[in-house]
Amino acid sequence: MNPTTHSLEPVQTRNERANDPRVDRQVEVARVVLVDENQLRASALAAALKATDADLVVVSGPDGWALRDELFPADLVLLALGGRQLSALATGAEAVQRNPYAEVIFYCDDPDAPEVSAAAVLGITRIVPAQSMAPWLTRAGALLARGAYLRRMAAATIAASPEPPTLATAALDAARLPLPTAEMRFRESYIRCLLTQSGSRQEAARRAGVPYRTMCEMIRKLGISTK
């Protein structure tokens, strides 16, 4: 079966975005994938999400693999355990592989289903009773989707940032300094830092572990102003 798309954006807005070459359709809004063989229940869950946030895009269908190329990476993935046509666990693994920041929520109406037992063996404990999904989604669905979307966008932004220039050249120049000069520069930087953090020469001397007069003499020789 072909997946049913539930758009939670105004049609005009979505069309305008789709025709805009500057828009990356994979990242423009938070996206939800809902996989449930019970299409009536899937529609009810999509409606619950629609009631909370007009900027989400929800795609639902009975076959999770058919949804891979349509919407993944998804931000919120809602998977019904115990289906006959697909493995919700496999779909969840695929979603996390494509987007490690995704929120994956499993739910079921049969706690004795074999896939529920398999989920428990894998350490999956967050399984929501199917009858509780709709009221829970009206409170939490949009928040989870938006949070996962923001994490995905933050990671993409950081990854796209160019690497800063390094101090490699300065470090090479420093390595060519005579030892007495390098020691003098380090001592000056160290004492300046101590004075800034301490607020007085007495405190700086105590933190440096030297007598007060020794600290004053070093400050004088290095020409450090403490005014």
In the prediction, which pLDDT does 60 show?
A: 67
Higher pLDDT, 174 or 96: 96
Exposure of 179 by Cβ count < 10 A (0-12 exposed, 13-18 middle, 19+ buried)?
exposed
pLDDT digits (tens, 9 = 90+) for 47-60: 888 777 666 777 76
Is 44 part of any domain?
yes
Tell me the Cα Rg of the chain. 30
**Domains of the chain: total:** 2
Least confident of 99-113, 137-151, 165-179: 165-179
Range of the domain at 211: 168-222
Least confident of 134-143, 161-170, 197-206: 161-170
Is 215 part of any domain?
yes
Query: Which band of pLDDT confidence, cut at 50, 70 and 90, is reported for residue 10?
Result: very low
What stretch of H or E contains 58?
Answer: strand 57-61
Q: Token pair for residue 186?
A: 């380090």
Which pairing describes strands 76-80 and 4-7: parallel, antiparallel, or unpaired?
A: unpaired
Is 227 part of any domain?
no
Q: Does 103 share its domain with 38?
A: yes
Q: Does 195 share its domain with 111?
A: no
User: Taking phi first (over 0 means left), then psi (-120 to 50 degrees means alpha), and beta for anything else, what does residue 160 get?
Assistant: alpha
- Domain end position, chosen among 138, 160, 182: 160
pLDDT digits (tens, 9 = 90+) for 18-49: 444 444 444 468 888 888 888 888 888 888 88
Q: How many CB atoms lie within 10 A of CB 110?
A: 12
- Assess whether pLDDT exceeds 50 at residue 209: yes
Query: Which band of pLDDT confidence, cut at 50, 70 and 90, is reported for residue 167?
Result: low
pLDDT digits (tens, 9 = 90+) for 114-163: 888 888 888 887 888 989 999 998 888 889 999 999 998 998 899 898 88
- Between helix 212-222 and helix 179-198 the angle, nearest 10°, is 120
pLDDT digits (tens, 9 = 90+) for 57-94: 777 666 555 555 655 678 888 888 886 656 777 778 87
Q: What is the pTM of this model?
A: 0.58
DSSP class of residue 97 equals: H
Bridge partners (DSSP) of residue 103 are: 76
Q: Does 45 share its domain with 109?
A: yes
Is 35 part of any domain?
yes
What stretch of H or E contains 16?
Answer: helix 11-18
In the prediction, which pLDDT does 147 show?
A: 92
Q: Are 116 and 108 in contact (CB under 8 A)?
A: yes
DSSP class of residue 166 equals: P
Q: Does 199 share its domain with 139?
A: no
